[in-house]
Amino acid sequence: MTSPITPDRLRTLFRPRSVALVGASDKSAFSATAYRNLVEFGFQEHTHLVNRRGATVHGRPTVTSCSEIDEAVDVAFLMVPQVGTVEAMSDAAAAGIRNAVILSSGYGEAGEAGRAAQAALVAHAEKLDMVLLGPNHLGFANLVDQVPVTSISGLPHRSGPIALLSQSGASSSAMMEFAAMSGNDLSYMVTLGNEAMITAGHVLDFLVDDASTRAIAIFMESVRDPEVFRRAALRATAAGKAVVVLKAGSSELASRTAAAHTGALVGDDRSIDAVFEQCGVIRVDSIEDMLITAGLAAHTGPLAAPGVGVVSISGGACDIIADRAEDAGMLLPELGAATEEVLTAVMPSYGTVQNPLDVTGAAIIDPSLFTSSIIAMADDPRIGAVAVVNGLPAFGEGPWPGQPFVDASGEGAARASAPVVYVSQILQPLTGYSREILEHAGLSYVLPGLKQAVTALAGVARWSQAHHRLKGDDGGAARADIRLTLPAPSTRRGAWSEHTSRRLLADAGVPVVPAVLAASADEAVAAAREIGGPVALKVASRDILHKSDVGGVRLGVTGADAVRQAYEEVRTAAGKVPGAAVEGVLVSPMRSGGVELLIGVVRDPAWGPMLAVAFGGVFVEVLKDSALSTLPVSPAKARELLLGLRGAALLQGARGTAPADLDAVASVVSTIGDLALALGDHLEALEINPLRVDGPTVEALDALVTWRTR
Amino acid sequence: MTSPITPDRLRTLFRPRSVALVGASDKSAFSATAYRNLVEFGFQEHTHLVNRRGATVHGRPTVTSCSEIDEAVDVAFLMVPQVGTVEAMSDAAAAGIRNAVILSSGYGEAGEAGRAAQAALVAHAEKLDMVLLGPNHLGFANLVDQVPVTSISGLPHRSGPIALLSQSGASSSAMMEFAAMSGNDLSYMVTLGNEAMITAGHVLDFLVDDASTRAIAIFMESVRDPEVFRRAALRATAAGKAVVVLKAGSSELASRTAAAHTGALVGDDRSIDAVFEQCGVIRVDSIEDMLITAGLAAHTGPLAAPGVGVVSISGGACDIIADRAEDAGMLLPELGAATEEVLTAVMPSYGTVQNPLDVTGAAIIDPSLFTSSIIAMADDPRIGAVAVVNGLPAFGEGPWPGQPFVDASGEGAARASAPVVYVSQILQPLTGYSREILEHAGLSYVLPGLKQAVTALAGVARWSQAHHRLKGDDGGAARADIRLTLPAPSTRRGAWSEHTSRRLLADAGVPVVPAVLAASADEAVAAAREIGGPVALKVASRDILHKSDVGGVRLGVTGADAVRQAYEEVRTAAGKVPGAAVEGVLVSPMRSGGVELLIGVVRDPAWGPMLAVAFGGVFVEVLKDSALSTLPVSPAKARELLLGLRGAALLQGARGTAPADLDAVASVVSTIGDLALALGDHLEALEINPLRVDGPTVEALDALVTWRTR
């Protein structure tokens, strides 16, 4: 079944030609505010008030039914009490209205009865072929076309390139106020409420195609339709529109709090991070960073290179930026030889040519030092954006003494070959006074505050890399590069023994330690002789997953007698496990030295399969240090995961071990991901523990496959 | 020698009765700004212009020498070129002026010649009994008495309880602007420059006694006089005045940058953290957080308990706060039973009584819900401050619809038994409009922005704990609780053998694994027999520090023959080390199992002895995971250090080990710190590696003491 909630359909909702306020009433503050908004934005002519009693409301005549409205209406804003909503929807639908914005609460957020009411609401909407925004929210405002369908007061009139989506109605006023104050003007503001039909992902999908929107800021507590969101986010990043998300619920306490007040199930935070990483979504941790980062992305678009060049007259600011850059992962590349040469020619002898660049007091005498430094920095191929840091007064009158620096920066920005961003030292409002100063220099944008600037630049740089990776991608499903004959359906049940799992891995191209399945002590002895040196004996049974616990494992066994004895012990131990079918005993060479990894694929209930990598031993047990990724995992991505682990030095020759062949390890990890994808929805979990890495050698020593059918 | 730079002396500098601008000139923008500031602040009458040629300057007559001034002058602001400074100082001193503020650059920040010039400057000042602020800075402003002695324009006229100190002149304008904009008004603003004589610590010391100052914000790149700073910071915290420091140089790049532009040596960042922790200094990472945190501390003073109670009508805001609280270490205590009972009585049935508390939409109908919730939260003994989160418009006109919520919050604040802080959802300026709204509710203070609020509250809570710890402390030197007969001076040279070091530890009360120093193979065999079980043999020689490397260690030796052979091998190996004097061979029981710690005391060049704790093996080698503290280390502090390590779970029974007796370990760590203190300046380093911990057992297996005299 195709979803009715397409971008085209949402266009009729978010860009309506006329609006009906259903349940309009003088007694309702919601109604009064919604109506006043429409009047203030000049939409009065296409606003229709519907009141069951047909009274005069807000000083205007009303109709008692939507059918009485004399023009085609795109959106019904339902402000009726919860009990009247279904009937009001029917009335609107009968009048040909196909989109409803539902204010009232008492649905999904209100216990079991509420959830039932919400399900009935959706079923009714589907029957009527209507789509719903809400319920339990405050509507939306289209600032591009100046159509407010919301009960939030104090809407900004200025419009801009950033769409703001919020699951919280109560906080959206503050978010809008910050957007307006900081000069990050909005195209749309949408409160999402319970997302009974239209979710954040659907709105995002609409916005990818909306010409007025260049970046999307989202405050959310949960992702309600994961696949819709993922697909839309991939499409947005590929299209060069940044998605910046303030996702609450990273703490355990917030998860509890969110559950208390919106009925939202807050997903596993680490999976969210992995999915955001996959989609190029920029995650932030404050309202301010959300809007500032979206504004920056809208201003610069994707950066050609991840490095940032910094030019400032304040050494202190340079230091603060360098510190914060390290924290936020913003790259401050060393300057190329050509750049150094140009800068050395313009900088005074007592200055230091480096990034960040302190242009020194010489710029007071010759502000054009800003211009030439900016141009030189922007020409450096490792630099994707130049941040010029300077003062910018928010309040004042008359000409500002620092104007020449801004003018020189503006000239640099006009002539530079990469985006140039004017950064103020503190988080401050973009006032009329500061706008005048910027405009005099031909600038229109300021990134406010050193720490906020670094956070935003780091986020936009990461998003830009994701954009280049995803460009041309249609946001379709993940693809595996593996061709595999799926095991017969009848065998894809429960857990598989190590022996069976080994074969699956080997078929997929994962190196596995050699092993012989011995059915008798004689066979075990022969296998051990063939292998040479000490061997390991392990019981092979799909019914015994924790082999060591039952005495089903013997390690470091040397000599025919010892092998024979070990075989018997293992069989005897296995025989004591009630109902366990034993396939035999695996005999394999003992391995020692090297580093042990754990590679596992598990299924996130919301997001599907996720691959985790970790070092064995204390790293995973004590430090809980692991890295997570969506599938597929490219070899490059696998490398990134491995090097992101705290113990990464173990792969690089720490503690006297041979440096690992990282390409080989990354390739195996990638293959394991592909295998999991190829096994598709049948797979519950796939775990290689350990994957032993010793210099050039990579091999799975043990493996476990479990299927979803039991 | 006592320093001339006492708080009393600095009072004459920072609260002058009259000022001489020496080198006043129409050609100098610095002079023009400094003079304009003095006039604007109404200090014209006590401002004297000194110009060598005696010309009319800034439209006023001048004198050619300070001696011609007809009143006693407290401060000479020297704006003469570098070459004329010494002469100008002599002229000022001859007129009885004892304080100089020196603007010009070309000193410590300008290479070797500059450093020599600065030394000469200081020597000259000492000869004249003058004290100097600067050089290479922009002066200071006393906003309490309204005396600006600075070439920075745009000074705020409003004064408040926060002193701002900055090593960066260029960034101080932005800092002052943010302070004014955010309502965190200043008592003093002091640019520090090269700190040739007066350092941040001296100014801080003066401010501890200044009645108008309740918190001190400092931007610094290096701490120039560590002991002065430490003592002043301890005194400030004890006095209930928070010191909030934005210390640049945490990143490697910033260290390089700072070295390039101020000639400042940026100290080891981890030692700085340890010292700040000792002194209760709050470290922040942005200009905004620095001023907001100082403002909060000035507003609340020390909190009685570290927990914060949060009351809000926005569930979204509650979630964001909960997430940020986890990141910043802000405690959101669960509510006590009594608090829950009171809140349950006032909250609607569909609300959830918890912290953070979402008062729900019921507060729209009955804003007094804010009042009662605030009072109830404040009464909870675990809650030291209540944060009430709400909107606060920065711009607007006429009455604001949200006023009843602010009024209800104000009433709660007035009646609450703990400090109540009004928190706005976004970082915004405190405008005339928002001041009116607050004042209507009897409030005067707002903490702006959710993330900033959490950062500030977490910092103030930590500082408050330090305040309670240090209260009554005079900021004196660290004291050790240990009584020890110091080893004879002649022996306190170079490194000591394990054998000698062991004795020192044992005397100090540190448990040490038993060992016998054997002088012959027979003695070794006898010792091994006495010990029973496998033993370790290690060469004892102060000349052989890396015993394993030369073959001087044999582990797990069992049986008389093997012990005899091991003894001979160790002796033979030691005999091959040229010039090594061998005391014998230590025989001790082999230990296995448990967890190995490394405890070391090393000397930081700026801050003196520091104690480090770490887990052995991968933790210290691969993860570089260690915790640092100044001395002495109380058992409570030792516990905190141990539990702060990433591998802390190892002490709590992870991986099947017996849970350690944490009190015993903490006590040993504390004793090691005391021992190091008792050894005083003679000690270079003291390392116990490993300190073995196995359930109730704690013992040093090896130790190394090195002395500063070689």
pLDDT digits (tens, 9 = 90+) for A48-96: 999 999 889 999 999 999 999 999 999 999 999 999 999 999 999 999 9
| CB-based contacts of A629, cutoff 8 Å, min separation 6 | A274, A277, A278, A610, A611, A637, A638, A641, A673
Q: Enter the DSSP assignment of B307.
A: E
Q: Torsion-angle region of residue A400: left (phi > 0), alpha (psi -120 to 50) or beta?
A: beta
Provide φ and ψ at A445, rounded to 5°. -130, 140
Q: Is B354 on the interface with A (CB under 8 A)?
A: yes
Domain for residue B181, yes or no? yes
pLDDT band for position B263 (cuts 50, 70, 90): very low
Burial annotation A283-318 (CB, 10 A radius, 16+ → b, else e): bbbbbbbbbbbbbbbbbbbbbebbbbbbbbbbbbbb
d(CA B696, CA A135): 60
A178 and B428: CB-CB below 8 Å?
A: yes
Indicate if ipTM > 0.90.
Answer: yes
Tokens of B402: 């949200």
Domain for residue B494, yes or no? no
Confidence at residue B268, expressed as pLDDT on a 0 to 100 scale: 78
| pLDDT tens digits along B625-675 | 899 999 999 999 999 999 999 889 889 887 677 899 999 999 999 999 999
Q: CA of A485: how far to CAs of A4, A482, A503, A678, A700, in Å?
A: 37, 10, 12, 9, 21
Question: What is the DSSP annotation of B544-613?
Answer: -S-TGGGT-EEEEE-SHHHHHHHHHHHHHHHHTSTT----EEEEEE---SSEEEEEEEEEETTTEEEEEE
Residue type (1 letter), B695:
G
| CB-based contacts of B461, cutoff 8 Å, min separation 6 | B303, B306, B307, B308, B330, B331, B384, B385
Domain for residue B180, yes or no? yes
> The domain spanning residue A338 has which CATH number?
3.40.50.261
Spell out where B378-525 has E strands. Answer: 383-390, 420-424, 447-448, 516-518
Domain for residue A119, yes or no? yes
Domain for residue B411, yes or no? yes
Q: Is A646 on the interface with B (CB under 8 A)?
A: yes
pTM of the full structure: 0.94
d(CA A449, CA A426): 4
Across the interface, which of B170, B360, B647 has its CB nearest the CB of A623? Answer: B647
Whether residue B74 sits in one domain with residue B222? no
| pLDDT tens digits along B163-184 | 999 998 888 999 999 999 999 9
Question: Which chain A residues are Cβ-neighbours of B427 within 8 angstroms?
Answer: 178, 288, 427
Whether residue B309 sits in one domain with residue B296? no
Confidence at residue A255, expressed as pLDDT on a 0 to 100 scale: 65
Domain for residue B681, yes or no? yes
Whether residue B350 sits in one domain with residue B328? yes
Closest-CA distance, B206 to chain A, in angstroms, reads 25
| pLDDT tens digits along B40-68 | 999 999 999 999 998 899 999 999 999 99
Burial annotation A526-538 (CB, 10 A radius, 16+ → b, else e): bbbeebeebbbbb
Please state, for a pLDDT cut of 70, what percent of chain B lies above it.
Answer: 95
Across the interface, which of A251, A319, A621 has its CB nearest the CB of B323? Answer: A251
> The domain spanning residue B518 has which CATH number?
3.30.1490.20
Confidence at residue A261, expressed as pLDDT on a 0 to 100 scale: 47
Residue with tokens 């932030």: A284
Closest-CA distance, A651 to chain B, in angstroms, reads 10
Tokens of B391: 């909107």
Confidence at residue B267, expressed as pLDDT on a 0 to 100 scale: 53
The 3-state DSSP composition of chain B as helix, strand, coil percent (nearest 5) reads: 40, 20, 35
| Mean pLDDT confidence for B149-169 | 95
Displacement of CA A499 from its chain's centroid (Å): 38
Question: Which chain B residues are Cβ-neighbours of A256 within 8 angstroms?
Answer: 354
Confidence at residue A544, expressed as pLDDT on a 0 to 100 scale: 85
Question: Which chain A residues are Cβ-neighbours of B393 within 8 angstroms?
Answer: 154, 177
Of B481, B506, B507, B510, residue with least CA distance to B672: B510
pLDDT band for position B257 (cuts 50, 70, 90): low
Domain edge (last residue) among B301, B319, B339: B301
Tokens of A564: 């024979």
8 A C-beta contact, residue B263 and residue B109: yes
Confidence at residue A485, expressed as pLDDT on a 0 to 100 scale: 72
Window 301-330 of A, Cβ < 8 Å to B: 313-320, 322-327
Q: Which residue of A has its CA nearest to B319?
A: A254
> The domain spanning residue B76 has which CATH number?
3.40.50.720
Which residues of chain A register pLDDT less than 70? 1-2, 254-267, 472-483, 655, 710
Q: What is the CA radius of gyration of chain B?
A: 31
Whether residue A225 sits in one domain with residue A362? no
Of B110, B134, B138, B137, residue with least CA distance to B121: B134
Q: Which class for B417: exposed (0-12), middle (13-18), buried (19 or more C-beta within 10 A)?
A: middle
Tokens of A324: 């914060």
Window 95-134 of B, Cβ < 8 Å to A: 105, 110
Task: Indicate if the pLDDT at residue B619 is higher than 90.
Answer: no
Least confident of A607-621, B247-261, B291-305: B247-261
Confidence at residue A114, expressed as pLDDT on a 0 to 100 scale: 93
d(CA A171, CA B538): 68
Whether residue B243 sits in one domain with residue B139? no
A286 and B320: CB-CB below 8 Å?
A: yes
Domain, as residue range, for A324: 302-470
Q: Enter the DSSP assignment of B335.
A: P
Domain edge (last residue) among A529, A556, A589: A589
Helix H or strand E encompassing A40: helix A29-40
B391 and A173: CB-CB below 8 Å?
A: yes
Whether residue B320 sits in one domain with residue B211? no
Closest-CA distance, B211 to chain A, in angstroms, reads 29
> In chain B, what's the furthest Cα-to-Cα distance?
102
Whether residue A461 sits in one domain with residue A341? yes
Domain edge (last residue) among B97, B129, B152: B152
β-strand B595-604 against B608-615: which pairing, if any? antiparallel
Domain for residue A502, yes or no? no
Confidence at residue A244, expressed as pLDDT on a 0 to 100 scale: 98
Q: What is the CA radius of gyration of chain A?
A: 31
Whether residue B414 sits in one domain with residue B461? yes
Residue with tokens 């230990």: B591
β-strand B19-22 against B47-50: which pairing, if any? parallel
Whether residue B608 sits in one domain with residue B551? no
Provide φ and ψ at A611, rounded to 5°. -105, 130
Domain for residue A146, yes or no? no
Burial annotation B661-692 (CB, 10 A radius, 16+ → b, else e): bbebbbbbbbbbbbbbbbbeeebbbbbbbbbb
Whether residue A315 sits in one domain with residue A370? yes
Across the interface, which of A170, A288, A619 has its CB nearest the CB of B316? Answer: A170
Q: Is B18 on the interface with A (CB under 8 A)?
A: no
The dihedral over CA atoms of B582, B586, B591, B594, expressed in degrees to the nearest 10, equals -60
Whether residue B568 sits in one domain with residue B624? no
Whether residue B368 sits in one domain with residue B429? yes
Across the interface, which of A254, A424, A427 has its CB nearest the CB of B319? Answer: A254
d(CA B532, CA A386): 71
How many domains does chain B contain in total?
5
Helix H or strand E encompassing A554: strand A553-557
User: How many interface pairs between A and B have CB atoms less than 8 angstroms apart?
Assistant: 257
Of B6, B17, B257, B25, residue with least CA distance to B146: B17
A646 and B654: CB-CB below 8 Å?
A: no
B106 SS3 class:
coil
Instruction: Report chain A's terminal Cα–Cα distance, integer Å.
Output: 29
Confidence at residue B672, expressed as pLDDT on a 0 to 100 scale: 95
